[in-house]
Amino acid sequence: MLYETEQTTLPGLKTPEQEYRELINGNYSFSEALQILDKIDWDFKDFTTQYLTHKFHSYPARFIPQIPLTFIKLFTKEGETVLDPMCGCGTTLVEAFLNNRNSIGNDFNPLATLISKVKVTLIPDAEFRYLKNKLQKMKRYLDLDYKRIDKRLESLPNRKISRIFNRVVISKSEVIRETLLEIKEEGGHNDIYDLGRVALSSTIWSLVENGGGLDVDDLFLKKINSMEKELKKMAKIVKNHHQK
């Protein structure tokens, strides 16, 4: 992976990713940086492109992170600000954050801006403990809630989603949504609330892509755990940058 610090090849041998990293980490003038662009294989074949918070949520037509990373490293300095006026799901913002640059992102799609915000927001362990406590209570409630399915369905808008998922899946999704709304109403937990919303959206997206399923709650909980793990990795990288 691009941000791995350990050598994973034999001594004296370098992977294409390691060679690429050394190339963009050089100290170049503007004209030299332009020449470096011609030395890069823009296909990035066999490169790891889904790492850290880039894995949070699928999004159409997103570019791979090495593309904005190249321009960030070659044409900006640490502490400077990167602007992405059509940021999509925040790929550029993540790479700016990982490399000690400020960033500004804008997008017309509210889901895009939500995903982008969550991807670059570090969350304290205490907030994850709070969320998991809420979700444990939710899980017990889910196991006893199937008799209320019809009642819950009445509160949902009449959209195509009703023809994609069965009653149990829709009911479970609604219980998760209500749990997140409780977190919002309690106040003081905006970042973990937003992370939960992205996790739920990603879970539903996954179910749509895979033709539905019954384990929406298990998928959601696995997504939360995965997001926590990747944010902790990101926090270490960002911390190391600031210590240099």
Residues 112 and 148 in one domain: no
Could you read off the pLDDT of 203-222 as tens digits, one per residue?
Answer: 999 888 876 666 888 999 99
Residue 87 belongs to what domain range? Answer: 16-120
Chosen domain end from 120, 136, 166: 120
Residues 63 and 111 in one domain: yes
Residues 116 and 137 in one domain: no
Q: Is residue 7 part of a domain?
A: no
Query: If you write DSSP's letter for every residue of 25-90 in order, what string do you get?
Result: TS---HHHHHHHHTTS-TT-TT-----GGGGS---TTPPPTHHHHHHHHHH--TT-EEEETT-TTT
pLDDT at residue 50 tops 70: yes
Q: pTM for the full model?
A: 0.88
Residues 226 and 133 in one domain: yes
Residues 23 and 116 in one domain: yes
pLDDT at 5: 44
Supply the angle between the helices 125-142 and 190-209 in degrees, to the nearest 10: 50
Residues 110 and 198 in one domain: no
Residues 134 and 190 in one domain: yes
Task: Name the most confidently modeled range: 54-63, 64-73, 162-171, 233-242.
Answer: 64-73
How many domains is the chain built from? 2
Distance (Å, rounded) from C-alpha 238 to C-alpha 189? 22
Chosen domain end from 104, 120, 136: 120
Q: Is residue 239 part of a domain?
A: no
Residues 29 and 115 in one domain: yes
What does the buried/exposed string (b/e) look like for 142-174 if buried means 16 or more CB atoms within 10 Å of the residue's CB? beebeeeeeebeeeeeeeeeeeebeebbbbbbb
Q: Is residue 203 part of a domain?
A: yes
Predicted confidence band at 145 (pLDDT cuts at 50, 70, 90)?
Answer: low
CATH code for the domain in which residue 104 is found: 3.40.50.150
Q: Is residue 242 part of a domain?
A: no
Q: Is residue 237 part of a domain?
A: no
